[in-house]
């Protein structure tokens, strides 16, 4: 079978058996967190194996029907063949996502750049684009923190994206995004260029050995959530600000009405940011040793979205471009992600 070159069922089955044997340890549940992590690995691997077995069965059934050489079955087989090819392409793309966090959830943050209201509006447009993309892929999203602009748009936002390979795909979006358009906020309707920074972080479990946070390394402050006024203003102090003392990193979460939930979400973001700092330090050290290190500066955009004087979205890393800007802003960004992964 074609797909055996991109997914080895026997080795995955052996891996599953090893994990199941570890789960039989009578002392496993003495550490509840580690036990839950192991059970999740088993569940995910079982689902992956069953998915491939089902895919193999579809291919076998189609081949058997084709052997009948019945012309009445041709339309149905042609549709199924196209579906199988699309599914195979998707699964083959997934094999490019072999990083330690690629299969997991992601935290995506958007920050408006210079440009005032226009950039804040652009940040909100990007938020809508990513929420639409996540919806297309049946990913669950949750806005953890958001600061709205004075006139329109948002200054910054952080959302959690949950689903298989969420981080693997979204990491292609990390960088500065540039918008060129006739400004709806300019009374003279002149052309403006706006920038927004997109950060993509892997969600890190509390048991991840790469990130260990000691309670005495953090300071937790509680404050009232800021809102748009009226009924949206929180009367109780539920918003959380966590300061990581060794690095000075500050994380806030205020979108939940529960102080406990905001604290948990803030810790999720803090772990992700600390992992990113560690990865960047390691990458810089390797690059400096190789003599290739160049600091990424603000404004070195990865993608431009031009709405005037013509319509075009172009990724400057891969030269992949699309003329239908509205479709892209409605969440059709898979082409950009796939081009970046394949490059």
Taking alpha carbons only, the member of 244, 278, 275 closest to residue 104 is: 275
Residue 273 confidence (pLDDT):
94
- Segment 277-290, tens digit of pLDDT: 988 887 776 666 65
- Domains identified in the chain and CATH numbers: 2-94 (1.20.58.410), 106-203+304-342 (3.30.70.1660), 215-290 (3.30.160.20)
The encoded tokens of residue 23 equal 């789960």
Question: How confident is the model over 67-91, as a mean pLDDT?
Answer: 87
Distance, first Cα to last Cα, the chain: 26
Residue 265 has pLDDT above 80, yes or no: yes
Residue 318 confidence (pLDDT):
97
- Segment 119-157, tens digit of pLDDT: 999 999 999 999 999 999 999 999 999 999 989 999 999
What are the phi and psi torsion angles at 25 (to 5°)?
Answer: -65, 120
- Strand positions, DSSP E, the chain: 106-112, 140-148, 154-162, 175-182, 191-202, 218-223, 239-244, 249-253, 303-306, 312-315, 321-322
Listed ranges 2-16, 27-41, 209-223; the one with the highest mean pLDDT: 209-223
Question: How confident is the model over 102-109, as a mean pLDDT?
Answer: 94
What are the phi and psi torsion angles at 35 (to 5°)?
Answer: -65, -45
CA–CA distances in Å: residue 172 to residues 28, 69, 97, 125 = 37, 44, 11, 18
Residue 287 confidence (pLDDT):
65
For residue 294, name the pLDDT band (cuts at 50, 70, 90): very low
Query: Contact at 8 Å (CB) between 179 and 244?
Result: no
How far, in Å, CA of 107 to CA of 203, rounded? 6
The whole-model pTM stands at: 0.78
- Segment 303-339, tens digit of pLDDT: 999 999 999 999 999 999 999 999 999 999 999 999 9
Burial grade of 161 (CB within 10 A; 0-12, 13-18, 19 or more):
buried
What are the phi and psi torsion angles at 115 (to 5°)?
Answer: 130, 5
Question: How are beta strands 175-182 and 303-306 bridged, if at all?
Answer: parallel
How far, in Å, CA of 146 to CA of 107, rounded? 13
């Amino acid at each position: 079978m074609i797909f055996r070159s991109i997914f080895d069922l026997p080795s995955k089955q052996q891996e599953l058996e090893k994990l199941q044997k570890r789960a039989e340890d009578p002392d496993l549940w003495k550490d509840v967190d580690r036990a839950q992590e192991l059970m999740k690995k088993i569940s995910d691997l079982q689902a992956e194996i069953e998915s491939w077995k089902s895919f193999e069965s579809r291919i076998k059934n189609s081949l058997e029907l084709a052997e009948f050489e019945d012309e009445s079955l041709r339309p149905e087989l042609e549709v199924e063949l196209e579906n199988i090819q699309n599914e195979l392409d998707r699964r083959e793309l997934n094999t490019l996502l072999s990083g330690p966090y690629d299969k997991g959830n992601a935290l995506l943050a958007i920050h408006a750049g210079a440009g005032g209201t226009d950039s804040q509006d652009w940040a909100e447009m990007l938020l809508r684009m990513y929420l639409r993309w996540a919806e297309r892929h049946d990913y669950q999203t949750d806005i953890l923190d958001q600061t709205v602009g004075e006139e329109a748009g948002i200054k910054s936002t952080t959302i959690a994206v949950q689903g298989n390979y969420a981080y693997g795909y979204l990491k292609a979006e990390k960088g500065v995004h540039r918008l060129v358009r006739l400004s709806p906020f300019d009374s003279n309707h002149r052309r403006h260029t706006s920038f927004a920074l997109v950060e993509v972080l892997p969600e890190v479990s509390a048991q991840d050995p790469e990130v260990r946070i000691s309670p005495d390394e953090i300071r937790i402050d509680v404050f009232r959530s800021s809102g748009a006024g009226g009924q949206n203003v929180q009367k109780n102090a539920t918003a959380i600000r966590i300061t990581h003392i060794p690095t000075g990193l500050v994380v806030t979460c205020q979108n939940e009405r529960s102080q406990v939930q905001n604290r948990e979400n803030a810790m999720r973001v803090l772990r992700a940011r600390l992992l990113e700092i560690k990865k960047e330090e390691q990458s810089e050290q390797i690059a400096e040793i190789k003599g290739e290190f160049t600091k990424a500066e603000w404004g070195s955009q990865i993608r431009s979205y031009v709405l005037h004087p013509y319509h075009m979205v172009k990724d400057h890393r891969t030269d992949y471009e699309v003329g239908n800007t509205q479709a892209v802003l409605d969440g059709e960004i898979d082409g950009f992600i796939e081009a970046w992964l394949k490059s």
